[in-house]
Structures are given as C-alpha cells and as structure tokens.
Structure 1
C-alpha cells in the first residue's frame, strides 16, 4: 500500500510539473557562477566550501519578531529558522504608514527599530516596505480628511522623518507601493507627486535606493502597464533604483513561460529586479480566505515542486537579484498553506526542497589538488561579501 501511494504521489507531481525552458541549467551556470582560481604549491590539496550567497534568498519579517504577542520559544525558533534559510529580509508590515501611524501624530517606531536591530546584528540586508501606499483602503482616514496643501506637507514630513531616522540602515525602500493599481496621492495632488516623494526622501537620505513594486506583472496581466509606468516615471525624473515584482498572483501552479517573458521584458530597463513577495500556493487560490484548510500530502509535494521551479526560472535570469518569500511559518503567514514550516515548526516538503536547492545544488563545496603550475580552477557560485 505504501509503495502504491508513493508512486501515486510521483505521478501527481509529474502531472503538475511543466518542463523548464530549454537551456535553463546553462543559464544558471552562466549567470550565477564564475571561475575561482586558487594559487598554491603544485599538488597541494585544496578544499573549498561556500559560506554565503550573493543572490538574495530572503523572506518577510513579521512584526511578531519585535512585538510581545509571541511566546519567547516561538521567537527563538523563528529567528533560528530565518537564519538557517535566508540571507535577506523585508519588513512585512512594520514600515507601512498605516501600521506606524494609525492615529495622527502617534508614530510607532519600536517595531521597525527592533527588526532593524536584529537584522543588523546578523548582517542581513533589509528592504523597507513601504514608505507610501496609495491604494485607497490602505490610506488612513485622517489623511483623507486633509486639504491638498496639508496633505502634501504631511507627505513631505513622512519622508523626512522616516529617511532621516533610518538614514543608511535600509538596503532599499519601496517608494509608493502598487501605483498601477491605485494611487490616492496622485489622484489628489497630480502625477508629479511621485517625483516629489522621491526628492523628499533624498533630501533626508541622498543615498536611499527607491524601488517600484507591483503585482500581476509576472503573470503577464499587467506587464505592459508596468513597463509604461516605469518609462513614465523615468521620463519625469523619478530615480527608480530597482524593479520589484510580487510573486503570489498565481494559483497552485504558475505559468513558467509568462514569468520568463515578463522578466525578459523588465530586464530591458537595465535595473535590478527582485521577486519581492513570493507565495505558493498563491493569491488566486482558496487558501487565501480558507486559512485553516490544510494541504493534502499530494498537494504538499506539488507545492514543493512549484517552489523549486519558480526559484529556478528566477535564479536563471541574469536580471534578477533576489527572491523574498512573503511568509515562511504557518504561525505568521497571510497564506498559511504556503508556509515552509507548520505551526509546530515541523518542515514541509517545500522546506526540504528549498534547502536542497539553495544549500546543496546551488552551493559550492569541493576539493582537489593544484595542477603542475600550482593552480586550481574551480567553477563556483557567486558568494556574498
């Protein structure tokens, strides 16, 4: 019976696995590896083991890390699990204006401070998500009540306060989130407000890297709109430092061809690209609203395969510089079914597949002997500095 079940799972997995595009492994070799040359005595034994990745394999950090809502045990395991799996991070909610200042004039910096302190202690680059968010339902009611002059002044004060307090501490920011899907600030103050937002941030922190970030791009549904939007921002002089594309607008599976086509198109800007918010299963599934539903063993295996394939398509692309999961623990994930770790911290097949991929298949560990010239030439994945 167990043997039959095992082969059934393999069959289901195969049915849900779309073949990768031809040459994907060659692209990974070409774009993610270089030649390490070690010089020593002829015949000397050489051992090499990678310590870190240059590519961002990251995740969102929940507010729970710096709040008092979790048990100390969960906090401890959360931090240990993060460090075991990830080398980069993004604030899930802590920097969002709605979270920081629900009541006008009462700004909560404590959670942001706590997350930044922890990431700095462990040399983890942190994205600030986000300075502004113009989707109307995420704009505080007290902002909506202001006249235009007061609203613009308040937007400027937000940029100055945040950027000056955290000058040089965030690796990058999402400037104004999801602008192609809604922009209350532009509706009220005109299209030029985005350039002003960027200028205000740079008045307080000239080196701040300001990114765009939006969704339904990798599905292809809003790709053309996003391309036009970025071109428009650049024409207006907005200093777009990088392109964020969210990775959770698919269902249980994703269209490999659409993802690659979107990445190819975005790469023409010559800007770094990050997959900023990845979940599988994604947002177009029942698990977004049915948060207590569990995946079956078959579905867990499919999830693991989809995760591996998504990472491979993105890792193979020379324009992509990182992928960040939007939650990895069932106890702090907006789509609990997409978690690599269950509520009791037991790993799902996706966690095991992820670790095999990132820390085994894409990890340099080898040994050998120097040649007659005292050299050893080793193909190696690019490491972090």
Structure 2
C-alpha cells in the first residue's frame, strides 16, 4: 500500500512538473485553414528519427513529396509500387489529416514508355489518353475515400500563359488535361480536384490557367481549386502580386490552395523564379553563402517573410482552404539543390536539427490572433 502511494506521488510530481505542450502551427490556424506538410518515404515509415512527432504535432494535412509521382508509383507498364502510398494514407488516417494526392499527371518524373508503343514510336492520342486514364483509375481508385484531394494535373503552362509543349500536349493537346479531370472525378467523386502550378502570381500565367479552368467548368468538368505553389524568396514576389492572384482565382469561382510553400533565403543566378526543374546551376560560394549557418540578418528576414505571408493568407481565409509547407525541415528541402546544386538552404519552419524556428513561430502566433 505504501509502495503504491509513493508511486502515485512520484507520478503526480513528474506530470505536474512537465510544462504544457505548446500549440503546434496547425493549432494557431485551426479556424482559418489546414496547415500541411510534404513528407517523404523515410518520414512516413518512421525511419527518420524525430520526424513523425513533429508532423503529428504541427500539421493536419499531408502531401506526398515524390512518392505518388508516376515514375515511382508506376515505373513500368504492368508494374505498380504502392509501398509508399499505402504507408502514406495509413499515416493520414492515423492523424485524421486532410490527405492530398500529388500528382496524377505531370510532364516530369514520368517514364518515356508512357508516350511510346512497343517499338518505341510515339503513341497516338487515343492510346495515350487511355494509358493515362488507366493510371488514374489504378492509383486514385486504390485510395478512393482515403485521399481527400488530388493534384490532378501539374504545371502545364508557360510563364506567358501558353501551353507547355510537353509530350502530353504534343500528342493530345489540352484534351489530356480535360480527360484527366473527368477520369479523376469518375474514379473518386468525393475527392477535391486541383490544378497546380508555380508562379501563379504572374498575371500572364494566371490568365492562361483561369481561361482553361473556366472552360472546363463550362463544359461540366469539375475543378475545385487552383493550387498556387508558394516557392518564394525573401524579396519576391510582392505581397500585392500574390494577393491579386488569390483574389482573381476566387472571383473566377475556384478555391485557393497554397500548395508548396517555402522561402529561399539564398541568392539566385539570373534572378530565376518559380520551380522549373530544367533550370539548374553548378554550386559556387557566391550562391551558397551560409554553409556554416544562416546569418542573423537573413534569419530575421525569413521570420518576417513568413509573418507577412501568413498575414496575407489570414486576410483571405475565406478563399484559402489549405497552406502546405513543401518539406518538414531544412535538411530535406529540395531547395538545397535548386536552382543551384549542393547548397545549404534554410527555407522551412524547422531547422536541420528538427527544431522549430522560434522567431518564425512567435511571429506566426501573433499573426494568428489578428
């Protein structure tokens, strides 16, 4: 009896001495929009130490960084690999997260065989569309009811609003986009369907996107939201340019989702913008100034940039349904290799030690109460 009483007293002391767990980022904005994060295979499987607790504490929406792209999930004509996808949706279910599928159709990370017959010659339009629809049926069909929203088509426009001359477009024209949305809706009518692109803040590119989206809507093809990839830098684009995009998309009758948010703190060659993976430069000290740690000045600018962005998103929370960070922490960010290979970048909310950047969090806390 005495031992039981002592144990109870010790446990009471231990638990009462622990500080209350601070709210996660998701809790700051729970009345405004989902806060999402793009995750990789190591994180989903639990092999990256410390990652899962952060994901569960700070995020209520998940996106797959690469694991559901065509080359990984469907590498050969009759071969599908669902190891990542199954673990990913299981994590989403465990967290009761708003789970995103990314992406069904893209011009990159897609094998050449998709566009060719057995002789290596280009497929005709009907066969290509059939192959695409079969892929959507298999992948989206497997996760019907488990994935809440799909990036159906990704990055089909040039900066001037014209269509990208991808193999998809060369063979099938814009019908591949329309057929992809039709098929995705047919397979899982309960899932939200998105068109996703970078540099949507540019008026010329946005005009092309919205023209097509409204055309599809007029034809009875469901498009729920336009994904504005948030690959920004410390200096640009301006908040006014981003805001114009949010307002125009909403006025056109579509929801807005901020799909791939990060802030590049490093200088870029030729002031390159966006996320075109065809742009890549070799490393050099000029473009990699923070190898041994970010400067206090840049760190302060990063915190303020996130505060300004989230303040804008809060202002338009009636239009925005989700804000997703493109990666969990600095060490795994794609910006360590884009647009300059091998850099040490600091674009996310968590540092390389998986520690929350307190200055950023403090500013987001203030913004969330406005």
Shorter-chain TM-score range: 0.7 to 0.9
TM-score by length of 2: 0.74
**Larger RCO: 1 or 2 (CA < 8 Å, sep 6+):** 1
* CA displacement at 1:167 relative to structure 2: 0.8
* CA displacement at 1:101 relative to structure 2: 1.9
Q: Which one of the candidate residues 324, 333, 339 is aligned to 2:348?
A: 339
Q: How does 1:305-316 map to 2 (within 5 A)?
A: 305-316=304-315
* CA displacement at 1:129 relative to structure 2: 0.9
Aligned residues of 2:234 and 2:301 also touching (Cα < 8 A):
no
SS at match of 1:276: strand
Q: Sort the Cα spacing of 1:282 and 1:126 in 2 relative to 1 into closer, same or farther, 3 A.
A: farther
Q: Sort the Cα spacing of 1:50 and 1:177 in 2 relative to 1 into closer, same or farther, 3 A.
A: closer
- For 1:138, the equivalent position in structure 2 comes to 109
Q: Which one of the candidate residues 218, 230, 241 is aligned to 2:224?
A: 241
Q: How does 1:105-144 map to 2 (within 5 A)?
A: 105-133=78-106, 135=107, 137-144=108-115
Q: Which one of the candidate residues 113, 137, 141 is aligned to 1:164?
A: 141
Aligned residues of 2:194 and 2:226 also touching (Cα < 8 A):
yes
* CA distance in 1: counterparts of 2:221 and 2:267, whole angstroms: 32
Aligned residues of 1:248 and 1:283 also touching (Cα < 8 A):
no
Q: Deviations over 1:292-334 (max 9, x none)?
A: 7442121011001001101111121121122111113123211
Q: Which one of the candidate residues 248, 252, 270 is aligned to 2:253?
A: 270
Aligned residues of 1:252 and 1:285 also touching (Cα < 8 A):
no
Aligned residues of 1:300 and 1:348 also touching (Cα < 8 A):
no
* CA displacement at 1:250 relative to structure 2: 4.2
Aligned residues of 2:105 and 2:152 also touching (Cα < 8 A):
yes
* CA distance in 1: counterparts of 2:178 and 2:237, whole angstroms: 34
* CA displacement at 1:207 relative to structure 2: 2.2
Aligned residues of 1:177 and 1:214 also touching (Cα < 8 A):
yes
Q: Which one of the candidate residues 98, 107, 132 is aligned to 1:155?
A: 132
Q: Sort the Cα spacing of 1:132 and 1:282 in 2 relative to 1 into closer, same or farther, 3 A.
A: farther
Aligned residues of 1:219 and 1:249 also touching (Cα < 8 A):
no
- For 1:36, the equivalent position in structure 2 comes to none
Matched residues, number: 306
Gapped runs of 5+ residues in structure 1? 1-48, 363-385
- For 2:57, the equivalent position in structure 1 comes to 84
- For 1:45, the equivalent position in structure 2 comes to none
* CA displacement at 1:355 relative to structure 2: 5.2
Q: Which one of the candidate residues 33, 40, 58 is aligned to 1:62?
A: 40
Q: Sort the Cα spacing of 1:327 and 1:261 in 2 relative to 1 into closer, same or farther, 3 A.
A: same
- For 2:3, the equivalent position in structure 1 comes to none
- For 1:322, the equivalent position in structure 2 comes to 322
Q: Sort the Cα spacing of 1:50 and 1:308 in 2 relative to 1 into closer, same or farther, 3 A.
A: closer
* CA displacement at 1:225 relative to structure 2: 2.2
* CA distance in 2: counterparts of 1:158 and 1:221, whole angstroms: 32
SS at match of 1:129: strand
SS at match of 1:150: helix
* CA displacement at 1:357 relative to structure 2: 4.1
* CA distance in 1: counterparts of 2:80 and 2:149, whole angstroms: 21
Please state if 1:361 is matched with 2:369: yes
* CA displacement at 1:81 relative to structure 2: 1.1
Please state if 1:102 is matched with 2:72: no
SS at match of 2:226: strand
Aligned residues of 1:301 and 1:349 also touching (Cα < 8 A):
no
* CA displacement at 1:191 relative to structure 2: 2.3
- For 2:179, the equivalent position in structure 1 comes to 196
Give the root-mean-square deviation of aligned CA atoms.
Answer: 2.8
* CA distance in 2: counterparts of 1:83 and 1:198, whole angstroms: 31
* CA distance in 1: counterparts of 2:266 and 2:86, whole angstroms: 30
Q: Which one of the candidate residues 269, 281, 288 is aligned to 2:264?
A: 281
* CA distance in 2: counterparts of 1:315 and 1:298, whole angstroms: 26
Q: Sort the Cα spacing of 1:204 and 1:225 in 2 relative to 1 into closer, same or farther, 3 A.
A: closer
SS at match of 1:222: helix
Aligned residues of 2:70 and 2:104 also touching (Cα < 8 A):
yes
Q: Sort the Cα spacing of 1:329 and 1:273 in 2 relative to 1 into closer, same or farther, 3 A.
A: same
TM-score by length of 1: 0.72
